[in-house]
Amino acid sequence: MPTLKPDSPLITAPKRSRGAPKGIRITDVAASAGVSPITVSRVFNAPQTVAPETLLRVRQAVQELGYVPNRLAGGLSSAKSRLIAAIVPTVAHSLFSETVQIFSDTMSRAGYQVLLGLSGYSDEDEDQLLDAVLSRRPEGVLLTGVAHTATLRERLLKIGIPIVETWDMTEHPIDMLVGFSHYRIGVAVAERFIARGARHLALVSANDARALARRRGFIDTLQAQGRDASAEVLVAPPSSVALGRDALGQILAQCPAVDAVFCSSDLLALGVVSQARKLGIAIPGRIAVCGFGDLDFAADTTPALTTVRVDGKRIGATAARCLIERLGGAEGKTVVDVGFEVVERETS
């Protein structure tokens, strides 16, 4: 990480920070804490370099004096905002919230603050959101997925700041990449169903890029064995239990003999399972079900849900480490495949 110089405007600006109470300067904080102004600056910009007891003493002085650093002024003059933009579809469930939490915590320990943006599942929304956050001059960007519009991808290639894409795999990352193959997940689930003797396999899938990649792997695996999906229902994200309930009815109408259903999320799978129970259909005796995500409830449903687990915490921690190393001067593209695990439970 870049080292602050003693003559940095962040630590020698004689004027009062606009956000600070009248008369309170960084030198006042330093005097109150019994440290140098540069140490106070490091508390704000590189806390991991400050001894814990000093860190506590400076933070107590900041709180007592009501000092607020003018990060904007420092960012304009030194081109260092200490901001990292993180763009994710949602934090409504643990799939992405775990990744965001560990990513934010790790960046914070390195002296950076994370500016979180929720893009939903729309490429257009992602474009507009990035326009907004890039105007804040972040020093790095975390993106969810690798499917971006051509214009956005071209812009990101030229922007000149570290970018880490997550939650997917591609042979052509923009910069750094930490994720897993959604396509291979579809392959793995289809192979598990087939190995257990399933003959009429169905899909309930959201229509976002990552879910469609899992769908493609699932269908390609069936076709490689000379068969097609017996039934399929596509839904618009975000997924829900209600959509899963409705989907099972549509699947049964398309293929009454269906004996295995792969759902693109645990919420859809829970809906399929609950509707099957309502209809008196045995799970897994009559229909096997597999979800995706291993959400908190998956192991505690009745029957317990078979699903695909991805280590979101590892993705967040690894993405943060990649960004921190790059911001510290490391070079070269980094690609990390964290893999996945099919967790067998009672629904299959």
232 or 11, which is more confident: 232
CB 266 within 8 A of CB 293: yes
What per-residue confidence (pLDDT) applies to 149?
81
3-state SS, residue 55: helix
What per-residue confidence (pLDDT) applies to 21?
45
259-272 pLDDT, tens digit each: 999 999 999 999 99
Amino acid at 62: V
Asked if residue 285 has pLDDT above 80, the reply is yes
What per-residue confidence (pLDDT) applies to 333?
79
Share of the chain above pLDDT 90, in %: 65
Lowest-confidence pick of 47-56, 180-189, 250-259: 47-56
Closest CA to 84 of 163, 162, 139: 139
Q: Give the number of other CB atoms < 10 A from CB of residue 228.
A: 10
Pairing of the two strands 163-166 and 201-206: unpaired
CB 290 within 8 A of CB 263: yes
For the chain, the farthest-separated pair of C-alpha atoms sits apart, in whole angstroms, at 78
Provide the sign of the torsion angle of the four alpha carbons 140, 144, 147, 149, taken in this order: negative
Structural domains present in the chain: 9-76 (1.10.260.40), 81-180+312-340 (3.40.50.2300), 182-309 (3.40.50.2300)
List beta partners, residue 165. 143, 177
CB 229 within 8 A of CB 222: yes
- The CA-atom distances, in angstroms, between 239 and each of 156, 200, 205, 340 are 29, 24, 9, 21
For the segment 152-180, the average pLDDT, to the nearest whole number, is: 91
Q: Give the number of other CB atoms < 10 A from CB of residue 274.
A: 18
Asked if residue 133 has pLDDT above 90, the reply is no
For the chain, the C-alpha Rg in angstroms (whole number) is 25
**pTM of the predicted structure, to 2 decimals:** 0.77
The DSSP call for residue 346 is: T
What per-residue confidence (pLDDT) applies to 15?
39
- The CA-atom distances, in angstroms, between 185 and each of 60, 112, 116, 177, 213 are 49, 34, 28, 18, 9
